[in-house]
Amino acid sequence: MNKIYYLTLFIFFVSLTLKAQDELTIKDAVNYALDQNTKLQQMRAVLKQKQNAWRTETGISAPEISYFKEGIGSGPGDVFDEKRVTVSQEIDFPLTTAYRLKGISEVVKALELEVKSIESEIKAEVKSYYIEVLYANYLQRSRQNQLKLAQELYNAVFTKFETGMANGIDLTNAELRLEEAKNDLDQSEWILHKARYGLFFSMGLPEEEQLYNITFSDTLMATNLEIPQIEALLKQKDHPRYLATQHELQATYFFLKEAKSNYLPDLNLSLYKQNLGIGDGYNFKGFEVGLRIPIWFPFEQKGKINQATARREEINWKQKEISLEIKQQIEYAWHNCEVSRSIINRYNLTMKEKATHLQNLSLRAYQLGEIDLLNLLTSQQTYLTSEQRYLESLRDYYLQLVALEKYLGQELVY
């Protein structure tokens, strides 16, 4: 007896452990995505490239080493007038390099903020897919209940049909309702799979780990959002995407300065040791300083200045677009959140109990012959429609909270 007891207890705890291992919480999904999301990892790689870009933009080219020999005679022996070894170095005008490096530094800061923005986007995307998965699970249960009601309806109509109290039209209507309920249940299965694989893709979960035995937390927690609308709107200037454009603008300022500084000459330095054919060895030294004069400035330099000016104008418009977009998204999320919350509260306070009671009474009344099929169908449809609208509103409410997270910088859904 004791062996059987302990074996049963062992199996119970093993099953609990396996269940815990297979369950994917919303926090686990977000943390995994921040490490493995493919888009985010690409942006981080781009950031690393830009962080090292300054090393290739110092304005100092690779030095050139050359060997020179002249005045070589055609007679016997190695007679020459001069030979030398030269090291030459080209250098951009220092002011040009300084502006270029400052511009690159601002680009890096903008990209860092872009990566931060993408992190919040990925976080919201993962949470949204997770919410869609939970919605699909609840929708399946609702559709299963719909199938159950359609079956009860069919049974009631069939019973009355056999006793001659219902006609063939009613029976056919009930049959169609039953088949439609089966179609709706099948469709909910596709909705669930679509949400699951959307979540797995957003997380960056490898194909071999996208298993059917992964389960999801049944409920979510949400912060009771009581923030004045104006406070939410004021947050748009603190969003990383908007701040990134500030650095992009500053970068265009330095790149424009760099383009204008191209009117200044670049430098060329050469150092060499000479052998003038007097004695042995390179006993003489020399140097050369040159300037590269931009005499073709109407083409090259002017073109660079015009490009930099146009780029600055582009970033100005981009900043305005982002500001308008953020305000639009906050407005959408805020108002949708308010509407969804009203529908949820109304359903929980009055509609749920009344719709359930009406549906139960109508089925009983139809069986007793007190109402016709049309009234029964109407009550069932009211019950199902109110329940599914409640689920949609609950999903929308959570989705809008997740959307607001990106702009408020707060954890609203967990």
Alpha carbons 311 and 229: distance in angstroms, whole number: 35
Contacts of 90 (CB under 8 A, 6+ apart): 60, 61, 266, 267, 268, 269, 292
- Other C-beta atoms closer than 10 Å to the C-beta of 398 total 23
Residue 188, helix vs strand vs coil: helix
Pairing relationship of beta strands 82-91 and 284-292 according to DSSP bridges: unpaired
Residue 233: its pLDDT value, please? 64
CA dist 359 to 50, 140, 345, 379, Å? 64, 20, 21, 5
Structure confidence by residue, pLDDT tens digits, 85-128: 999 988 888 888 899 999 999 999 999 999 999 999 999 999 99
Structure confidence by residue, pLDDT tens digits, 300-352: 788 889 999 999 999 999 999 999 999 899 889 888 988 999 999 999 999 99
Q: Which residue has the tokens 């999301």?
A: 37
Alpha carbons 228 and 174: distance in angstroms, whole number: 50
Residue 17: its pLDDT value, please? 40
Q: Which DSSP category does 62 fall into?
A: P
Residue 42: pLDDT above 60?
yes
- Other C-beta atoms closer than 10 Å to the C-beta of 279 total 7
> Using 50, 70 and 90 to split pLDDT, how confident is the model at 30?
very high
Residue 77: its pLDDT value, please? 60
Beta bridge partners of 267: 91, 291
Residue 136: its pLDDT value, please? 95
Alpha carbons 373 and 370: distance in angstroms, whole number: 10
Q: Which DSSP category does 235 fall into?
A: G
Query: 274 and 285 in contact (C-beta within 8 Å)?
Result: yes
Q: Which DSSP category does 263 fall into?
A: T
Q: Which CATH number fits domain 101-262+298-408: 1.25.40.80, 1.20.120.140, 1.20.1600.10, 3.40.50.300?
A: 1.20.1600.10
| H-type alpha helices, 347-372 | 352-367
Average of pLDDT values for 206-219? 86
Residue 190: pLDDT above 90?
yes
Q: Dihedrals φ, ψ of 253, to 5°?
A: -60, -45
Residue 19: its pLDDT value, please? 43
> Using 50, 70 and 90 to split pLDDT, how confident is the model at 382?
very high
Structure confidence by residue, pLDDT tens digits, 224-251: 766 666 566 666 678 899 999 999 999 9
Alpha carbons 137 and 140: distance in angstroms, whole number: 5
Residue 80 backbone class (left: φ over 0; alpha: ψ -120 to 50; beta: rest): beta
Q: Measure CA of the first residue to CA of the last residue in the chain; give whole Å.
A: 45
Alpha carbons 261 and 98: distance in angstroms, whole number: 10
Residue 4: its pLDDT value, please? 45
Residue 72: its pLDDT value, please? 74
Residue 227: its pLDDT value, please? 62
Residue 221: pLDDT above 90?
no
Residue 20: pLDDT above 50?
no
Higher pLDDT, 101 or 298: 101
Average of pLDDT values for 56-72? 84
- Other C-beta atoms closer than 10 Å to the C-beta of 59 total 18
Query: 340 and 394 in contact (C-beta within 8 Å)?
Result: yes
Beta bridge partners of 279: none
What residues does each domain of the chain span? 101-262+298-408
Burial class (CB in 10 A: 0-12, 13-18, 19+), 355: buried
Query: 255 and 96 in contact (C-beta within 8 Å)?
Result: no
Residue 230: its pLDDT value, please? 58
